[in-house]
Amino acid sequence: MPQPPNLQNMLRQAQEMMAAQQQAQEALKAERVEASAGGGMVKVVMTGDMHLESIAIDPDAVDPEDVEMLQDMVVAAVNEAVRSAQELQESKLGGLGEGFDPMSALDALGMGGLGGGGTPGGQPNRAARRKKK
| pLDDT value of residue 38 | 93
| pLDDT value of residue 42 | 95
Instruction: Kindly state the helix (H) or strand (E) to which residue 20 belongs, with its residue range.
Output: helix 7-30
| pLDDT value of residue 14 | 85
Spatial contact of 28 and 60, defined as CB atoms under 8 Å apart: no
pTM of the model: 0.59
Q: What is the pLDDT along the chain (133 residues), one digit of tens a residue?
A: 677 778 888 888 888 888 888 888 888 889 999 999 999 999 999 998 889 999 999 999 999 999 999 999 999 999 999 999 999 988 888 766 555 566 666 666 665 555 544 445 555 666 666 666 6
* Region of 53 on the Ramachandran plot (φ > 0 left; ψ -120 to 50 alpha; else beta): alpha
| pLDDT value of residue 108 | 62
Q: How many residues does the chain have?
A: 133
Spatial contact of 47 and 85, defined as CB atoms under 8 Å apart: yes
Sheet holding 42-47, edge to edge: 32-37, 42-47, 52-57
- Please enumerate in sequence order all residues whose Cβ is within 8 A of that of 27, keeping only pairs 6 or more positions apart, or say none: 48, 92
| pLDDT value of residue 95 | 64
| pLDDT value of residue 118 | 47
Instruction: Tell me the one-letter amino acid at 101.
Output: D
Spatial contact of 86 and 28, defined as CB atoms under 8 Å apart: no
